[in-house]
A = this chain, B = another copy of it.
Amino acid sequence: MVSFESDYIAGAHPEVLRRLMETNTEPLPGYGSDPYCESAKDKIRKAVGMPEAEVYFLTGGTQTNAVVISTMLADYEGVIAAKTGHVSSHEAGAIEYTGHEVLELPQKDGKIAAETLKKYLEDYYADANHEHMPFPGMVYISHPTEYGTLYSKAELESISAVCREYELPLFLDGARLAYGLMSRETDLALAEIARLCDVFYIGGTKVGALCGEAVVFTKGNMPKHFLTSVKKRGALLAKGRLLGVQFDALFTDDLYFRIGRHAIEMAEKLKDIIRKHDLPVFIQSPTNQQFVVLENRQMEKLGKEIAFSFWEKADDSHTVVRFATGWSTTEEDLAALDEALGRSRS
């Protein structure tokens, strides 16, 4: 069935898979100490414009969030995040499992505002009993957000400024970073993100890898003996090459950005189809995830031909659904959707 269910419906991008094959029989040391990991780190350092950045490869998004947050927070600290942030709501309590509270902020379209953050921090320190609450120890944002929206450069600069004022590391979850970077509506380049954040990750799983996320520490702030902390969390792969080779491929010949650009092109055409069929848009998303409201019977009918994902109930007769594009989305997929949408209406 043609699928827009997510950006992780297919395996690896062919160029990634090819490199896995080409390097498959080379005997390599384990645990991330192989030359492909080194080469991938170098390429990432170049791509983010920071020769001194520290890069570490982990396997999946929730794991990365939990490892980074729990190793960077002090014992008495929690992490600030939007109420809709992935760490707040869709990780089965993975942050709490590490012993830390997620301090939830109100959000708009999945984003937090610098003013909201600042107000929260002021109120916290103004409270005479604040020592009975976890100290704010880090700010977590996602870009693109869980709703596909993006921070503007000005917005990220404001948030970053508040973080600097309060000496809070700013952590950007880039599980879908490529789609933010290649969006037609962004003014935020990778180098800006590296400059404004203290740590962020470049998502691989949702951008053409079989698995893998590349964490970038930008301020010489990788937690000490990070490998041991990663191992302790069961997050250290014996065949670290699996991550190294994939990221080496993703950062060769701009593959990471090409995948992003392709998915964005497909998403723009998807938006044309949505408009053509007069489907109400749930939220304006400039990236690879598109959220539309479907009448329930239409949803059911469409669901027989096309895979997409349930997002939330809109009302008793309507549902918000998500269509996502990715490296494997084709013009044929879009045409199939267009036709199926036509049929689903009647």
Chain A interface residues (CB < 8 Å from chain B):
1-3, 5-6, 8-12, 14, 17, 20-21, 23-30, 59-67, 70-71, 74-76, 78, 89-102, 104, 126-129, 131-135, 205-206, 210-211, 223-225, 227-229, 231-239, 241-242, 307, 309-310, 312-313, 328
Contact = CB atoms under 8 A, between A and B. Distances in A.
B94 A234 contact: yes
B26 A92 contact: no
Given A27-B2, A210-B239, A91 B8 contact: no
A211 B231 contact: no
B11 A20 contact: yes
Task: State the main secondary structure of chain A at its contact with B.
Answer: loop
B91 A232 contact: yes
Contact of A234 (B24, B60, B89, B128): B60
Contacts of A14: 24
A234 B211 CA distance: 13
Contacts of A10: 24-28
A225 B62 contact: no
A11 B205 contact: no
Contact of A135 (B65, B225, B233): B225
A334 to B, nearest CB: 14
Contacts of A75: 70-71, 223, 229, 232
Contact of A235 (B128, B205, B234, B236): B234
A313 B1 CA distance: 58
Nearest 7 CB-CB pairings of A with B = A63-B234, A11-B24, A3-B27, A92-B231, A76-B228, A93-B101, A9-B27
